[in-house]
Structure 1
Amino acid sequence: MSIDLTADCSRCAALCCMALAFDKGADFALDKPAGVGCVNLRGDFGCQIHDSRIDAGFSGCLKFDCLGAGQRITQEVFAGVDWRDTPAAIPDIIEAFRILREVHRLHELLGFAADLPLAPAQRDLLHALMEELAPNGGWTADSLNQLPLGRLSSDATSFLGSLKTLAKRGGISGKA
């Protein structure tokens, strides 16, 4: 299954602006706890300082990429749930967002491996890992919570590490 790993803020309920904590410093002009909407968040989930985030002290916003997890949580997993109107759902939304962001990160890394000239056994393992990260029925809050993310992350890291020599020969560099 192909997963769109491109963030689409227009289809999201500003989850990164709510779910993530900000620490005042070089990247953020203020402290903000996780689970609280940013002070710059408008009622339509847009950002009132979007065009001046760097000048306003929010360069950290430009550095984060949810890899498409935000809109999937908003549109699929918690479709129709507005965290501002349903504060009791915030912890579940945050946890689902955290898990799906990691799923998308692993999928992105494994996608790089798909371009390598893998042996049949390696390709089979790659497909098995990617299938676990993209279930046919899609994700629900329950299926995300039941996902053995630690094991999958460890398996993906081990698999990618086993490809270092192949990646170097193929001209791919970076962390595996």
Structure 2
Amino acid sequence: MNHRSVFQVGHRSFSFFMTEAILLFSPHGSPIRMLTRRSKVRVHWVLQCACLACAALGLASIVYNKHLVGKAHFASWHGLLGLVAVCVAGLQCLAAVSLVYPSLVRGWPLARLKRWHAAAGLLAYLLGGGSLVLGVRSAWFTASVGGLAWYLAALCPAVSGLVVVSQVTDAYMANKRLQS
């Protein structure tokens, strides 16, 4: 497997694992909707760790590949946004420890921590999706993929982004309305 293949696997895995990790809380389409909330949280945690591992592997692969061919690192918007997305996702995973151990963060109720976690996770997801859309516009991708396949590749992150934004805002805005 060459470096570009590892990078592509990292992109796809990041998108797949993060999408699934978020949507498993959906009451409508999750394949594990019958599990307890606690079990869903554990599966969410495992999927997010897999997402971060794939993102780090893809990022390391492309940095190594650029080093081998002597190209500049993070010279495109796609590369910069991808780096930011991986960093935000990493910080989000670290910050999630406060949800497992809420006593570490004094003065913040668990409900507020969960809302911040959802908002920061949504930001990480949208940054990753934005990077994917920018990657579809790259010279390499447009030379490799054309026609209907190109449009489908560009549309997938946008549609999944809308679904995830809808789910997260519905879940946390509904909770906020009920508490008011």
What is the TM-score of this pair, normalised by structure 2?
A: 0.33
Q: Higher helix proportion, which one?
A: 2
